[in-house]
Amino acid sequence: MLMKIIKKILPSHKYQIKCPYLMLPKRIVIHDTDCYKTAEEAIFDMTNSCEKNSFHYAVDAKEIIQGIPEGRNAWHIEKEEDNKGNFEGIAIKICYPKNDDNKFIAAEENAIELIIDILNRYNWGIDKVTKHQDYNGSYCPHKILDMGWEHFINRIKLKRIKTEPRPFIIGETVYNKDNIYLLHACKKQKNKTEKKDKNIVIKRAKELGKMFNKRFI
């Protein structure tokens, strides 16, 4: 079961440096190289650094912390030719103490839970799970690569089968430069409740449409 995600979202005045563009996510990108710190330290360092390096989630053996909204880009791949990783990828950084395999395995398990949650929310297949190496050739995530990328993917597949998909949150949104996509799903319900949910979504869509001056799909 996915643990509660701690939200320590980057202050908006730092968006211009760390996550300047709205993004419609299309994939997940996994990192674990040189992440020898806690998730909290990784998010703190990212938030307070003047450099543009950034990522959406940091995960360690005890917690998952979100630092950037999924609807904004992050700079987590250097020297990328087509920018598909930076402009389409939800970046997950797996954090662990150096030379502590037990804590790495625990952090990896938490990352798998997060990956499954994201896959289910966006209704994605396993092909949407990618690695840093796919974009610029860097040997990252090196710990996972050392143990076998296919082994990691198969663990996600197996655990996903056993996991109930998390329902969409009413009013959850994803953006691109032209539109805002409002994601909504609910269990089949009797007329009154179903209409009520629909009205909540429509109201939220109108509010956000005015706020961002965008059209809803």
CATH code where residue 96 lies: 3.40.80.10
pLDDT of residue 199: 72
Residues 86 and 154 in one domain: yes
pLDDT at 205 over 60: yes
Residues 85 and 28 in one domain: yes
pLDDT of residue 16: 96
pLDDT of 151-201, one tens digit each? 999 999 999 987 655 444 444 455 444 555 555 545 455 555 566 666 776
Asked if residue 104 is part of any domain, the answer here is yes
Of all residues in the chain, the percent with pLDDT exceeding 90 is: 68
Residues 154 and 209 in one domain: no
Asked if residue 180 is part of any domain, the answer here is yes
Domain total for the chain? 2
Asked if residue 167 is part of any domain, the answer here is no
132-139 long-range contacts (CB < 8 A, ≥24 apart) are 132/29, 132/30, 132/31, 132/33, 132/76, 132/77, 132/85, 134/29, 134/85, 135/29, 135/77, 135/80, 135/84, 135/85, 136/77, 136/78, 136/79, 136/80, 136/81, 138/33, 138/78, 139/33
Position 80 confidence tier, pLDDT thresholds 50, 70, 90: confident
Residues 151 and 181 in one domain: no
User: Could you tell me the residue range of the domain that residue 192 belongs to?
Assistant: 172-216
Q: What is the pTM of this model?
A: 0.75
Residues 211 and 189 in one domain: yes
